[in-house]
Homo-oligomer: A and B are copies of this chain.
């Protein structure tokens, strides 16, 4: 079967690329309230395509937030059932001026496709759909049953996905789950993720005077909210990059020497050369690899207050805001960590100001699966065969909240088949995806689909 499928994908390359481009052109930015129409457009694209492929049920599902797409192919009889998850929403594209080509006008150069969502996650979702199309066109059927869930809120914390999965457990019953929303440790190096970080966050606004004040007339009388915010943030981490919020590390799983060895042995980025920083800055006692893969983080995602224009404006700003998120490791409870942050902020608010805390809805526990599970071994074989390279097993600093949700609701193994690369510029200007990974990745998926019935 696989050969015909591979041939089909090869022969129809141009038409498939055109279709993928249509998908990437849609500005489905979930965090932007003005993009509601574009979100609907992406939903229509997916329901149309899934219907065209031949899924026997295709539905747009209301969620209370952005809608999600559900589809099922249940005609593979006794073959195992896969629950495929992906997301059609993307990150905002600002700062626009740093894009070499338009973020929503997919462009090919240097063997890559450049567009917001090319890797995260529209491009990778599209690969699965294209393989389904190829199998249906060449064989008239799929070698396994598939239930498809593609949501529109991943980049804003999947607020309504949990409820949907929880309320539709019977509908969604499956033998394993399949997700491609991640990357390889390096271009051409097949990578299976066996662990992901959890997530929590909040927005903190320090409020001082009821208006911006003249810094000469009020400096010394009124606490400066931008300074107060800086003091609060600075108090959260020491110079060893250790988070000083009480309780932050309480439930963190210890890192074994064996796992440290595996992590440090895996190929990875040379961070200074890929990001331009003068040197890495991991937590004391850990390497940068260890910290990104297996230690919790606390990051300021944005900070703002007062005058940002040209020149000088001699004011004491009325308020200052920071957006904070944490990546969590197995053992840590997102709610408990968020509470710890809130308690810390309230206990350390300087006198003369007040704080206003928005607890973001998004939060997820970390996830870890046995890297020796037969499904993961089979996936690794398919990868190795298609990419002609050894597959490595790693944990990731990123979060895919749905993995933890599927794990806790369905208790089925989650196979994370990532095809992105460290040069993809996820969440950054000039997001891209290598064309070679499209073709080899689809070959790997076709192999895995074909053989999965033998390991379940």
Q: Residues on A close to B: CB < 8 A?
A: 31-33, 91-92, 94-95, 98, 156-157, 183, 197, 199, 201, 208-224, 226-227, 229-231, 233-235, 237, 239, 241, 269, 271, 275-283, 286, 288-289, 291-292, 295, 297, 299-317, 320-323, 325, 327, 350-354, 360, 362, 396-399, 422, 425-430
Q: A221-B291, A279-B351, A292-B219 are in contact. Are A226 and B300 (CB under 8 A)?
A: yes
Is the Cβ of A327 less than 8 Å from the Cβ of B221?
no
Number of copies: 2
In the bound complex, CA of A408 to CA of B218 (Å): 27
CA A216 to CA B223, docked complex, whole Å: 34
Subset of 21 A-B contacts with CB under 8 Å: A31-B311, A32-B309, A98-B211, A217-B397, A218-B271, A218-B397, A222-B277, A222-B280, A222-B281, A224-B299, A226-B233, A229-B230, A231-B239, A300-B317, A301-B315, A301-B317, A304-B308, A306-B323, A307-B323, A312-B325, A312-B360
Taking CB as reference atom, which chain B residue is nearest A120?
A: B214
Cα A281 to Cα B316 with chains together (Å)? 13
- Besides A215-B427, A300-B317, 4 more A-B contacts (Cβ < 8 Å) are A226-B302, A227-B299, A230-B300, A312-B323
Evaluate whether A234 and B231 lie within 8 angstroms (CB atoms) in the complex, with A219-B397, A297-B219, A353-B277 already known. yes
Chain B, residue nearest A231 (CB): B234
CA distance A145 to B286 in the complex (A): 76
B282/A220 in contact, CB under 8 A: yes
Q: Is the CB of A230 within 8 A of B303?
A: yes
Task: Given A288-B221, A314-B325, decide whether A398 and B216 contact each other with a Cβ distance below 8 A.
Answer: yes
Question: Is the Cβ of B234 less than 8 Å from the Cβ of A230?
Answer: yes
Contacts of A303 in B (CB 8 A): 226, 229-230, 303-306, 317, 320
Q: Say whether B92 contacts A222, CB under 8 Å.
A: no
Chain B residues with Cβ under 8 A from A210's Cβ? 275-276
C-alpha gap A361/B274 in the complex (Å): 36
Most buried by B among A183, A278, A301, A307: A301
Q: Return chain B residues, CB-CB under 8 Å to A313.
A: 31, 91-92, 301-302, 323, 427
**A323-B312, A352-B277 known; A227 and B300 CB under 8 Å?**
yes
Query: How far is A430 from B213 in the complex, measured between Cα atoms in Å?
Result: 12
Q: Which residues of B contact A92 (CB under 8 A)?
A: 307, 309, 313
Residues of B within 8 A of A310 (CB): 31-33
State the main secondary structure of chain A at its contact with B: loop
Residues of B within 8 A of A226 (CB): 233, 300-303, 322
Q: Given the complex, which residues of B lie within 8 Å of A241, measured CB to CB?
A: 220, 223
Are the CB atoms of B239 and A427 closer together than 8 Å? Answer: no
Q: A299-B224, A300-B226 are in contact. Are A399 and B213 (CB under 8 A)?
A: no
Chain B residues with CB below 8 A from A286, complex form = 220
Q: How far does the alpha carbon of A7 sit from the alpha carbon of B214 in the complex, in Å?
A: 36
Most buried by B among A201, A297, A360: A297
Roughly how many angstroms separate A327 CA and B220 CA in the complex, as a whole number?
Answer: 10
- Cβ–Cβ < 8 Å partners of A397 in chain B: 216-220
Known: A31-B311, A213-B428, A231-B234. A222 touches B275 (CB 8 A): yes
Residues of B within 8 Å of A307, CB to CB, are 92, 301-302, 323
Residues on B with beta carbons closer than 8 Å to the beta carbon of A278: 351-354
Instruction: Tell me if A213 and B312 are in contact (CB < 8 A).
Output: no
Question: Looking at A183, A211, A235, A279, which has the most chain B CB atoms within 10 Å of its CB?
Answer: A211
Which residues of B lie under 8 Å from residue A208 when comparing CB positions? 275, 277
In whole angstroms, what is the CA distance A31 to B311 when docked? Answer: 6
User: Are B360 and A219 neighbours in the complex by a CB distance under 8 Å?
Assistant: no
Report chain B residues within 8 Å CB of A353.
277-278
A216 B234 Cβ-Cβ under 8 A: no
The listed residue (B31, B304, B314) touching A304 by CB distance below 8 A is: B304
CA distance A399 to B95 in the complex (A): 37
* A319 to B: closest C-beta gap in Å: 11
* Contact (Cβ within 8 A) B305 A217: no
A308 near B302 with CB under 8 A, answer: yes
CA distance in complex: A31, B307 (Å): 12
